[in-house]
Every structure is written in C-alpha cells, then in structure tokens.
Amino acid sequence: MTADGLDLDERDAPSVIGEKCATDSDAATTAAAAASSPALDAAATAAASSPALDAATLRQRAAWIRRDILDMITRAKSGHPGGSLSAADIMATLYFGGILRHNPENPALPERDRFILSKGHAAPVLYATLAEAGYFPREELATLRKLGSRLQGHPDMHKLPGVEVSTGSLGQGLSIAAGLAYALRNRGESAQVFVLLGDGELQEGQIWEAILFAAHQGLGNLVAIIDNNGLQIDGSTDEISSLGAIEAKFRAFGWASHTTDGHDVAALHTALTQAKHYTDAPFALIAHTVKGKGVSFMENQCGWHGKAPSAEQCAAALVEVEQFCGPQEEQKEQPQQESKERLWQTGGAR
C-alpha cells in the first residue's frame, strides 16, 4: 500500500511481451517486484504530493455534465445516454481535476495533452465537458444532431474546438492514440495522450494490435481508460463475448494497469495522477462504472444505450441529477494569458 492509497500489487506491474503466464509459484515474486518497482513508487509519490483535490467540486461538475447530457439528447430525440452518463465522473476528473493539460483559449496549443474519445457514440459527454470548460457556449449544446450543427452524433475534429480526432467506428481510437503518443515522444514533446474506450469496444481485434504496439514501443506517455460498465448495445459483455480479466490481459501485453471505481472522483484522481507520472510503459486504468449512472431507471439497462428519453422521462431524470448540481456560474470571457506558466486551463506540466 502506498501513501496515496493505491495497492501496487502484481496487477500494476508491466509484463514483458511474449512472457508466458506466471505460475502460481511465481505470483509472489511478481507481486514483490511490482510493489518495489522504482518507477511505480515514484509515480505513487508524485500522486501523493499532488495538489489537494476538491472532490465536492468535481462531483458537482460531473452532475452538471450529466444534466447537459440528458437535456441535449432529449432535445435531439436521438443519442446515447447510457455510456455518456457512465463516463461523466471520468471526464470531470480529467478536465477539471488538474490531470489533462488543455487551454480552451488555444485548443491547438502544441504543448497540450491530447484526449481521444474512442467510444465516439458517447459524444454528448465530451460536448458537455468541452462546453463546461469554455471551448464553446453551453447554449450550443441544444443543437446536438441538428442539421448544420457543429455537434454531430459523433465528434468531428474539423468542426468543433477541443475535438482531437473524429471517432465513432469502434476499435480505432487506441490505434490513433498510440500513433499520436509515438509521434509526440519522437519529437521530444512532453505532451501525453489519454484515450477513453468502452469495454464492449475491447472485443475489436484492432484494439489488441494497438495494445501490443504501444507496449513494444514503450509508450509511457499513453494512458488508456476503460469505461467498464459491463453492457453494450445487445446485452452484457459477459454474455456476448466475455472480456475476462481485463487488467491481467493488459499486464500480459506489457502495460502497467490498475482498477478503480469509475464514479469515485477521489479514487479516479489518485489513479490518473499516478498514471500521468508513470512513464516506463503505457498505463491502462480500468474504471468500473454503471451504465446510465445518476438516473435510477437508466442504470444497468442496456436499453438506454442508444435511446433518447421522452420529455417526461427527462424531467424525472433531471430531478435526480440536479440535486447534486448546486449553483452554476455563467461562463465569463477568459483573459488573454501572458506566460507559459498560465497556459493551462487545468493540468500541470510533467
């Protein structure tokens, strides 16, 4: 157990590519090596010494994101609420918890970290997050999926600031993220790449090619976050094509990995901070989540994968979500920033 509360057991240790599965007698040795890994210990120390987390504020941000998800999908009468709601706490922690370096005043700033939404159908959670961060007015959320809108059903990098990659065809985002991480490292840049994947998406073969490539190249600037809500459009992932021990699979391919509660912003912040400071290998964070989180009648129901609520259902859902929202300040124009130290809306340099 480290100072930040993470258990650095054998699950966190990267494995050598091609190494055969350890036998039971090897498990203790593997665990001991992982617990004493200098790189993991250093990352844990950095996580423990990171600025104090305002968990209440992050929870409020996540509630605002959920409220906007419900409102825009209901207005559009089309969209994917289940997997958008399950990722709200992850997105709030990334963008407002000091993890992701980004600047809405200059979305193309070379030093920024990159975020890729591989599960592109969950575009509402990205749009709500970007609007909350100030990339575009919140009022524009009402144009989701409308003709001529910048907010299409899947993210379009050519239309909306803050969208790094156009996504939607499942299984491709991790390959793109690995390519970006590879290029950034080879250019000597410190930026990191974060990619959010759905668990059902892990059934795509291209994902595992990218996992193998990232480990082989030692892409320590790549962090993959798995929104592990256990459901996909046709039912549970276990029934359709079981993913088994996801964390162990990443380890077997040479990644460092950790599992956490995807709705506990404090636990997410600790794990993501550690992932940010661990640079010996790519890092996979398996976040256990609930599809439709925050709305009782949507939770753990695959039927809400891609169905918009009616106006009456939305009103009932908002009653549940808005109890956690509190007051929200109107967006104010950001002053021009004068030095590199003030470039980041959130997130610090590595």
3-state secondary structure 161-225: CCCCCCCCCCCCHHHHHHHHHHHHHHCCCCCCEEEEEECHHHHCHHHHHHHHHHHHCCCCCEEEE
Residue 81 lies in a domain: yes
Residue 13 lies in a domain: no
pLDDT at residue number 347: 53
Q: Can you read off the two tokens belonging to residue 205?
A: 């073969």
For 263-300, how does the pLDDT look when each residue is reduced to its tens digit (9 = 90+)? Answer: 999 999 999 999 999 999 999 999 999 999 999 999 99
- Nearest by Cα to 123 from 173, 68, 168: 168
Residue 22 lies in a domain: no
Residue 333 lies in a domain: no
Q: Range of 175's domain?
A: 39-326
pLDDT at 104 over 70: yes
pLDDT at 214 over 60: yes
Residue 321 lies in a domain: yes
Residue 253 lies in a domain: yes
Residue 26 lies in a domain: no
pLDDT at residue number 234: 84
Residue 332 lies in a domain: no
pLDDT at 29 over 60: no
This prediction's pTM: 0.83
pLDDT at residue number 17: 25
Cα end-to-end span (Å), the chain? 24
HSE, side-chain direction, 13 A CA sphere, residue 82: 22
Number of domains in the chain: 1
Q: 110: phi > 0 → left, psi -120 to 50 → alpha, else beta; which?
A: alpha
pLDDT at residue number 46: 58
Instruction: Give the residue, 163 or 343, on which the prediction is more confident.
Output: 163
What CATH number has the domain bearing residue 62? Answer: 3.40.50.970
